[in-house]
């Protein structure tokens, strides 16, 4: 079986272990209940925009959301009042001051942004509702939509904040005196205390961040929590103001819209891709989790998450995927081999990738491989349509190859430009670097051969050289007819790489393959030659040209040294008068075989879509 979640989970585990030793910082002792939490609690969680959650440590330990509530209440105020009305009361400029500063902009008399306490209290005052209780419940329900579960108030922390929150009350009265809020300041401040006292977990925050990353739609519940334009507004303000007076350092070193809280949480968002949450209650001098800042910085560096790293495509790397049963190679096989491939072909899969391959694209690829149902014995990654490949993507795909190798699965790359850095093709089954092919068809044939080697029944003999009378075109005829027809054929040996028939040649005989492999090719618009089909002993070619009198549509080459039985044009025509029944029997067998070969070739081309 394929290991589950291993590659991404291991990277998060590494960052967790790296940061766990950091015990710097202090608890938020100005709120008594926050000073009583377990100081060494620590969790890191990552949620993708399509709903996969990874994490290490204390993912389900409850703590209060504190200032991480600010962007979500700001979002609700925007939804209730509109951008213009909120902007009239709350600015969006970085303050460069601590979050609890008792000040307003000296020119506009507005709070400088909604991520400091003054702006957050103003935002809380703008939430609509029937009464104070209903207005707070609308805030709680909004947070719950982002988290994907029902969140609750921590009464003890709320009481502690309400008992000691004199500084915030001063801010509330300052706002009322400046005309920024037009309700009782005590009600506004009390609502702010309550929103900060809602319990969340590290897992909740990661999903809330992923909801913002997913344009406001919760990736687990599929419920819309916020409209797309308002998500852009909230993330913009988080980018410049979310980390208080450390916002500049954060943007340059981490490069993600984020918000921290004195409860020990940090929430960060990579739009369109992932949400990150870290919980560790020891705070740095800026009021943010010391481990949280370090963990986010390390994840951004390792996973290449900085939002100013511009790419052509960031998220969906998988163009298509299929098994060798669904899209066989162009090597035609005998019935016994086909039976094995029909039964076990789902164990070998090809993934075609495209676009720029960064963390999110690599993560979806790794996850898709790890989530492959059933047993995976062979994997092909086709990287020819991939553009830039980030170091983290290379590491993740290399780790995936090693994990699969440990389970006995084999991995091959279609990577002629060595985008993953594999400059050589390893023939050693124990080497996790695997094989490297120039085209997908060769890699698919390799998959098929591996499946056949592992699952062919005991006593099975691979196709061997045939005599003319044992070729399927003649084998089932009555002995006297078979012997007579065999004498009409000439035997010819062709060296590997030699052209047997040139495209547009006139009818030049009926060819039966007795030994070796014959390749029918076609040339694309750029002049490159590609395999249409490979024929093996027991197969034939030339029937259409002989019967319809049309030129050959393809070049025919000897893929290996080949031994052929050839029925010349004059002898083929002469059979019409000399032995019409024998010729009819021959044509019936050839028609059935030709149809099977053509059908298989068409299915292969259609399934692949391109070369």
Mean pLDDT for the stretch of residues 165-193: 94
Alpha-carbon Rg of the chain, whole angstroms?
34
pLDDT of residue 589: 83
Catalytic residue among 54, 244, 279, 557: 244
Token representation of residue 286: 């800026």
Q: How far is CA 349 from CA 409, 411, 609, in A?
A: 11, 10, 16
Catalytic residue among 37, 54, 67, 340: 67
Q: How confident is the model at residue 607 (pLDDT cuts 50, 70, 90)?
A: low
Cβ atoms within 10 A of the Cβ of 155, count? 11
Of all residues in the chain, the percent with pLDDT exceeding 90 is 54
pLDDT of residue 200: 97
Say if residue 4's pLDDT is above 50. no
Say if residue 313's pLDDT is above 50. no
The torsion angle over the Cα atoms of residues 186, 192, 193 and 196, rounded to 10 degrees, is: 180
Q: Where in the chain is the domain with CATH 2.60.120.10?
A: 468-608
275: β partners:
47, 269
pLDDT of residue 476: 84
| Class level of CATH domain 318-455 | alpha beta
pLDDT of residue 459: 62
Q: Where in the chain is the domain with CATH 3.30.750.24?
A: 318-455
Instruction: Check if the beta carbon of residue 55 is closer than 8 Å to that of residue 243.
Output: no
In the annotation, is 24 catalytic? no
Catalytic residue among 54, 143, 158, 192: 192
Pair type for strands 265-270 and 258-260: antiparallel
The sign of the CA dihedral 400, 44, 243, 269 is positive
Of all residues in the chain, the percent with pLDDT exceeding 70 is 92
> How many residues would you count in the chain?
611
Instruction: Check if the beta carbon of residue 282 is closer than 8 Å to that of residue 291.
Output: yes
The sign of the CA dihedral 274, 278, 283, 284 is negative
Find all residues with CB under 8 Å of 148, minimum gap 6, and list them: 204, 207, 211, 218, 220, 221, 223
In the annotation, is 389 catalytic? no
Pair type for strands 199-200 and 562-567: unpaired
pLDDT tens-digit map of 24-35: 999 987 788 888
Helices and strands of the chain, counted as H and E runs: 21, 20
Q: Where in the chain is the domain with CATH 3.40.710.10?
A: 6-303
Catalytic residue among 37, 262, 366, 414: 262
Token representation of residue 433: 């670097």
pLDDT of residue 460: 62
How far is it, in rounded angstroms, from Cα 233 to Cα 514? Answer: 72
How far is it, in rounded angstroms, from Cα 560 to Cα 562? Answer: 6
In the annotation, is 107 catalytic? no
pLDDT tens-digit map of 491-518: 999 999 999 999 999 989 999 999 999 9
Among 136-150, 275-289, 573-587, the range of highest mean pLDDT:
136-150
How far is it, in rounded angstroms, from Cα 55 to Cα 11? Answer: 10
Say if residue 206's pLDDT is above 50. yes
pLDDT of residue 309: 64
Say if residue 548's pLDDT is above 60. yes
CA-wise closest residue to 263 among 278, 276, 281: 281
| CATH level 2 (architecture), domain 6-303 | 3-Layer(aba) Sandwich (3.40)
Instruction: Check if the beta carbon of residue 297 is closer than 8 Å to that of residue 326.
Output: no
Catalytic residue among 16, 56, 70, 251: 70
Instruction: Check if the beta carbon of residue 43 is closer than 8 Å to that of residue 56.
Output: yes
Q: How far is CA 609 from CA 321, 372, 402, in A?
A: 12, 22, 30
Pair type for strands 378-389 and 348-357: parallel
How far is it, in rounded angstroms, from Cα 369 to Cα 347? Answer: 12
The number of C-alpha atoms within 13 Å of 255 and in the hemisphere containing its C-beta is 15
What SS3 class is residue 397? Answer: helix
Average pLDDT in the chain = 88
Token representation of residue 218: 């919760």
Find all residues with CB under 8 Å of 339, minimum gap 6, and list them: none
The number of C-alpha atoms within 13 Å of 198 and in the hemisphere containing its C-beta is 30
Say if residue 161's pLDDT is above 70. yes
Say if residue 596's pLDDT is above 70. no
pLDDT tens-digit map of 339-389: 899 899 999 999 999 888 888 888 889 988 988 888 899 999 999 989 888
pLDDT of residue 430: 65
| Class level of CATH domain 468-608 | mainly beta
In the annotation, is 244 catalytic? yes
pLDDT tens-digit map of 250-279: 888 898 999 999 999 999 999 989 999 999
In the annotation, is 566 catalytic? no
pLDDT tens-digit map of 483-494: 999 999 999 999
What SS3 class is residue 557? Answer: strand
């Amino acid at each position: 079986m394929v290991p589950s979640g291993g590659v991404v989970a291991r990277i998060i585990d590494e960052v967790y272990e790296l940061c766990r030793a950091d015990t710097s910082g202090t608890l938020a002792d100005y709120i008594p209940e926050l000073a009583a939490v377990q100081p060494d609690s620590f969790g890191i969680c990552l949620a993708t925009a399509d709903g996969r959650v990874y994490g290490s440590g204390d993912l389900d330990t409850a703590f209060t959301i504190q200032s991480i509530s600010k962007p979500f209440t700001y979002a609700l105020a925007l939804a209730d009042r509109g951008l213009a009305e909120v902007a009239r009361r709350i600015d969006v400029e970085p303050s460069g001051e601590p979050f609890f500063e008792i000040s307003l902009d000296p020119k506009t008399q507005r709070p400088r942004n909604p991520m400091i306490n003054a702006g957050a209290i103003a935002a809380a005052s703008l939430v609509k509702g029937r009464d104070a209780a209903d207005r707070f419940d609308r805030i709680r329900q909004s947070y719950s939509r982002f988290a994907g579960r029902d969140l609750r108030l921590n009464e003890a922390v709320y009481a502690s904040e309400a008992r000691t929150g004199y500084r915030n009350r001063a801010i509330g009265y300052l706002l009322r005196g400046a005309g920024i809020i037009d309700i009782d300041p005590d009600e506004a401040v009390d609502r702010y205390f309550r929103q900060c006292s809602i319990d969340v977990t590290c897992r909740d925050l990661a999903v809330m961040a992923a909801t913002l990353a997913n344009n406001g739609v919760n990736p687990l519940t599929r419920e819309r929590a916020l409209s797309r334009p308002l998500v852009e507004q909230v993330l913009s303000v988080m980018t410049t103001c979310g980390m208080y007076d450390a916002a500049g350092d954060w943007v340059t070193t981490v490069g993600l819209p984020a918000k921290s809280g004195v409860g020990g949480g940090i929430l960060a968002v990579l739009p369109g891709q992932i949400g990150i949450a870290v919980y560790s209650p020891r705070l740095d001098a800026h009021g943010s989790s010391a481990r949280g800042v370090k963990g986010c910085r390390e994840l951004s560096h390792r996973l290449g998450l900085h939002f100013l790293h511009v790419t052509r495509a960031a998220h969906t790397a998988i163009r298509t995927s299929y098994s060798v049963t669904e899209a066989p190679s162009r090597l035609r096989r005998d019935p016994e081999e086909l039976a094995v491939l029909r039964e076990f072909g789902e164990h070998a899969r090809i993934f075609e990738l495209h676009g720029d391959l960064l963390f999110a694209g690599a993560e979806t690829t790794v996850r898709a491989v790890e989530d492959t149902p059933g047993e995976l014995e062979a994997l092909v990654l086709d990287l020819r349509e991939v553009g830039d490949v980030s170091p983290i993507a290379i590491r993740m795909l290399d780790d995936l190859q090693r994990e699969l190798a440990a389970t006995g699965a084999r991995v091959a790359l279609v990577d002629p430009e060595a985008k993953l850095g594999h400059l050589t093709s390893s023939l050693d089954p124990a080497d996790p670097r695997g094989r490297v092919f120039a085209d997908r068809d060769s890699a698919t044939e390799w998959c098929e051969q591996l499946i056949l080697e592992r699952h062919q029944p005991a006593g099975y003999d691979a196709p061997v050289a045939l005599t003319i009378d044992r070729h399927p075109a003649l084998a089932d005829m009555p002995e006297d007819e078979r012997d007579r027809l065999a004498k009409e054929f000439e035997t010819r040996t062709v060296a590997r790489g030699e052209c047997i028939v040139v495209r547009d040649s006139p009818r030049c005989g009926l060819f039966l393959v007795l030994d070796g492999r014959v390749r029918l090719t076609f040339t694309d618009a750029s002049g490159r030659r590609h395999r249409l089909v490979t024929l093996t002993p027991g197969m034939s070619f030339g029937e259409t040209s002989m019967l319809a009198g049309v030129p050959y549509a393809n070049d025919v080459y000897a893929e290996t040294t080949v031994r052929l039985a050839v029925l010349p044009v004059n002898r083929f025509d002469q059979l019409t008068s000399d032995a019409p029944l024998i010729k009819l029997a021959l044509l019936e067998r050839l028609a059935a075989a030709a149809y099977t070969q053509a059908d298989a070739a068409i299915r292969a081309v259609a399934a692949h879509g391109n070369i």
